[in-house]
Amino acid sequence: LILLAALLLYLALYPAGEIGNATLLMTYAVALVICALDIWPYLPGRKRELRRARPGMPGTPLSVLLINVLQENEDHNSVLARIRDSQADVVFLSETNARWREALSPLEADYPHTYLLDKEAHNGLLFYSRYPIREVQERYFCQDHVPSLTVDMDVEGREVRLYCIHPRPPRPRDDTQHLDDELMIVADELREQHRPAMVIGDFNEVGWSWMV
């Protein structure tokens, strides 16, 4: 929209007949076409890639709440209140250090099944569940300081797998290789699953990632 507005303003102020102006207008036009192609799949009316879940489908419902708390944030009470209001079956929190783990310890009365991995540098992960946990794998897919959790749960007699991830975000226009690789590893594993499975987390996806 900004590019289009700039083009219209330029046309209003300067004639298009001169060679320099014509070249600039052609450059603007090419840029507009590229931008339009980028956003075309996301415009209203385009075909949805995912089907919406229908209410009343068979199976046990599982509600999941994800919160990236932002490690420096000290408003623990608001996060506690949000979790309690949600009444979620599973709560997954990222960017949680030891201070956050201690502040959220009252949750363990309502969520007896936990895996609590507090870390600094925005890499902590806290997992709370009302359902029993069969197994937790603490995994480091692409970077040895960025953990992910693969959690197998017993949901009323049925095994359900949750991939809980928080890949490291790239800086603006920085390489997204580690982020993309982690998402692809999880996607490949997901294709092989013969049980209900879900990927949850703050994916930190950016517009210049090829995964988008």
- 28 and 79 in a single domain? The answer is no
143 φ, ψ (degrees, to nearest 5): -135, 135
Q: Is residue 173 part of a domain?
A: yes
Give the confidence band of 19 by pLDDT, cuts at 50, 70, 90. Answer: very low
Same domain for 68 and 38: no
113: domain CATH number? 3.60.10.10
Give a yes or no: residue 210 inside a domain.
no
Provide CB contacts within 8 A for 138, sequence distance 6+: 115, 117, 147, 148, 149
| Residue count of the chain | 212
Q: pLDDT of 51-102, one tens digit each?
A: 666 666 666 789 999 999 999 999 999 999 999 999 999 999 999 999 999 9
In a domain, 147, yes or no: yes
* Helices 19-39 and 2-13, packing angle to 10 deg: 160
Whether 32 maps to a domain, the answer reads yes
Most confidently modeled of 14-18, 19-23, 54-58?
54-58
- Cβ(172)–Cβ(208) below 8 Å: no
Residues 14 and 119 in one domain: no
> Same domain, yes or no, for 38 and 73?
no
- Looking at residue 17, its pLDDT comes to 52
Q: Would residue 101 count as lying in a domain? A: yes
Using the predicted structure, report yes or no on whether residue 18 has a pLDDT greater than 80: no
The answer on 156 and 71 residing in a single domain is yes
For residues 11 and 91, state if they share a domain: no
Domain that holds residue 17: 2-42
| CB distance 193 to 168 below 8 Å | no
Q: Residues 138-168: pLDDT tens digits?
A: 999 988 999 999 999 999 999 999 999 999 8
The pLDDT value given to residue 40 = 75
CA separation for the pair 186, 178 (Å, rounded): 13
| Beta strands at 64-68 and 197-201: parallel, antiparallel or unpaired | unpaired
91/186 same-domain check: yes
Same domain? 25 vs 122: no
Same domain, 162 and 192: yes
Per-residue model confidence (pLDDT) at position 85: 97
The pTM (predicted TM-score) of the whole model is 0.76
Q: Across the chain, what does the average pLDDT equal?
A: 85
- What is the number of domains present in the chain? 2
Determine, yes or no, domain membership for 56. no
Cα–Cα nearest to 183, from 159, 156, 202: 202
Please give the single-letter amino acid code of residue 98. Answer: A
Let me know whether 33 and 73 are in one domain: no
Residues 96 and 132 reside in one and the same domain: yes
Whether 139 is covered by a domain: the verdict is yes
- d(C-alpha 211, C-alpha 186), whole Å: 13
Same domain, 136 and 90: yes
